[in-house]
Amino acid sequence: MKRIVTYLYVFLFFCLLSSCKKEDDLTGSLKLKLNGMFVPENVFFQLYTEGSWSVPTVTQPLKTGSFNSGMAIINDLNPGNYIILVGGAYFSVQVTAGRQREYSL
């Protein structure tokens, strides 16, 4: 009887040990830097998904914001391709799950 109880405890231990798994982060982030010697104050950006950018109708940006000291960080983005509009110029960027991608614009 003691042997069966011991086997049950060992089995329970391994079941609990295998049930604890690290969950991977499903979102990513972007770190954007403005190039140039002179970075003006209040440079704003608009972030669009690649799909919404290619539609001929006017769509609202996914996120908007401004650069602080020539740098902006955008968190909690789903993996995929995005278009960022900065001062009339647009750039294609890519977000990877669990990582922060860095781009110089």
Domain hosting residue 48, numbered range: 24-104
Q: What does the pLDDT look like over 13-39, one tens digit per residue? A: 776 666 666 676 789 999 999 887 666
Domain of 73: which CATH number? 2.60.40.10
> Structure pTM?
0.73
pLDDT of the residue at 87: 81
18 domain residue, yes or no: no
Q: Six-digit token pair at 102?
A: 């860095």
71 domain residue, yes or no: yes
Q: How far apart are CA 43 and CA 56, in angstroms?
A: 26
Chain centroid to CA 12: 38
9 domain residue, yes or no: no
Q: What does the pLDDT look like over 39-75, one tens digit per residue? A: 677 789 999 998 888 888 878 899 999 888 888 999 9
12 domain residue, yes or no: no
CA atoms within 13 A on the CB side of 63: 15
Q: List CB contacts of 104: < 8 A, sequence separation 6 or more.
A: 33, 34, 35
If one counts the domains in the chain, the total is 1
pLDDT of the residue at 105: 83
